[in-house]
Amino acid sequence: MDINTKYTPKTWPDHAEQVTLEGKNKFVGIWIFICSDIVLFASVFATYLALKDSGPSGMDITAKELFGLELAFVMTMLLLTSSLTSVYAMYHMKNFNSKGVLIWMGITVLLGLGFLGLEIYEFYEYTVHEGFGFTHSAFSSAFYLLVGTHGLHVIIGLIWITGLIIRNAKRGLNLYNAPKFFAASIYWHFIDVVWVFIFTVVYLMGVLG
């Protein structure tokens, strides 16, 4: 594959991200990685459920009292929307519109940053104002580790996508970077998938008690 080949919208192949062997490898590779991440999150989730509300004798903070829904709702909306914007980016990639890819990826990053900001704010509130720090109890450790692992994925995703944007801002689309954008977008969707479970299991079911 030649990185210098210049494409036009007309010569740009369908499924540009998968026409080269490297592209196929990236595509399959990111999926297998996601499979392993599924089990990773399952383990952390299972631990969270086992340790929910448990702490030293006399612990007074429970999920029911701790969690609010407003913030979780806003965060969910931000992340869901960012999923859609990255689909838009992929749409523009299909049409060989590299500007569109960059812009929509950029919006995705902004939404992701918003999500991350709210998450940090939430952690700050819990730690400082509620006295619910990481070492407070088994429950707090499990909570921060579960949500934090997701947050870490968000951070990695943001760095990755930002890197791609900076790196490819000037060179347009080609068969070398198309798979990279595509893999990053799949990864980003996966982050959203995990969040769907987090808001359901941690926040919604937490509020139910």
Partner 1 sequence: MSSVAIGNKKGFGATLWDYLTTVDHKKLGNMYFFAGLLFFAIAGFEALLMRIQLMVPNNDFVSAGLFNELLTMHGTTMLFLAATPLLFGFMNWIVPLQIGARDVAFPFLNSLGFWLFFLGAVFLHLSFFMGGAPDAGWTSYASLSLYSPGHGIDFYVLGLQISGAGTLISGINFVVTIITMRAPGMTFMRMPLFTWTTLIVGALITFAFPPLTVALFFMLVDRMFGANFFDHTMGGNTIIYEHLFWIFGHPEVYILILPAFGLFSEIIPVFARKRLFGYSSMVFATILIGFLGFMVWAHHMFATGLGPTANAIFAVATMAIAVPTGMKVFNWILTIWGGSIKVTVPMIYALGFIPSFVAGGVTGVMQAVAPLDYQLHDSYFIVAHFHYVIVGGVVLGIFGATHFYWPIMTNRVLNEKLGFLTFWTFFIGFHLTFFIQHFLGLMGMPRRVFTYQGDQGWDLFNFISSIGALLMGLGVIFLVVNMLLSIKSKPLNTSDYWGDGRSLEWALKTPVPFYNFKQTPLIRGYDPYWIEKHEGNKEGMTYAEPVGDIHMPNGSILPLIMSIGMFIAAFGSLYHPDGVSWSVPVIILGIGITVACMIIRSFKDDLGFTVTKEEIIATEESLYGKGGNK
Partner 2 sequence: MGHDTHIHEKSVAQHEFDRRKNAVEMRKQVVNFAIMILFTFIAFAVVVADFSPYFIKPFILLLAAVQVVLQLYAFMHMGEKHASHIGTINTFVWVGAIIAFTVFLCFLTIIWW
DSSP 114-152: HHHHHHHHHHHIIIIIS---TTS-HHHHHHHHHHHHHHH
Distance CA 177, CA 153 (A): 22
Phi/psi at 35 (5° precision): -55, -45
Spell out, one character per residue from 92 to 121, where the chain touches partner 2: x when CB under 8 A holds, - when not. --xx--------------------------
CB-based burial, 8-37: b 16+ in 10 Å, e otherwise: eeeebeeebbbebeebeebbeebeeebeeb
3-state secondary structure at position 6: coil
Compare residues 70 and 135 and give the one whose CB is closer to partner 2: 70
CB of 118 to partner 1, least distance (A): 23
Distance CA 196, CA 47 (A): 18
Query: Quick one: which segment of 86-94, 124-132, 148-156, 158-166 binds partner 2 (CB under 8 A)?
Result: 86-94
Residues that bind partner 1 (CB under 8 A): 1, 3, 21, 24-25, 28-29, 32-33, 35-37, 39-40, 43-44, 47, 50-51, 54-56, 59, 134-142, 145, 163, 167, 176
Residues that bind partner 2 (CB under 8 A): 1, 5, 7, 9-11, 13-15, 18-22, 24, 27-28, 31-32, 34-36, 38-39, 41-43, 45-47, 49-50, 69, 73, 76-77, 80, 83-84, 87-88, 91, 94-95, 175, 186, 189-190, 192-193, 196-197, 199-201, 204-205, 207-209
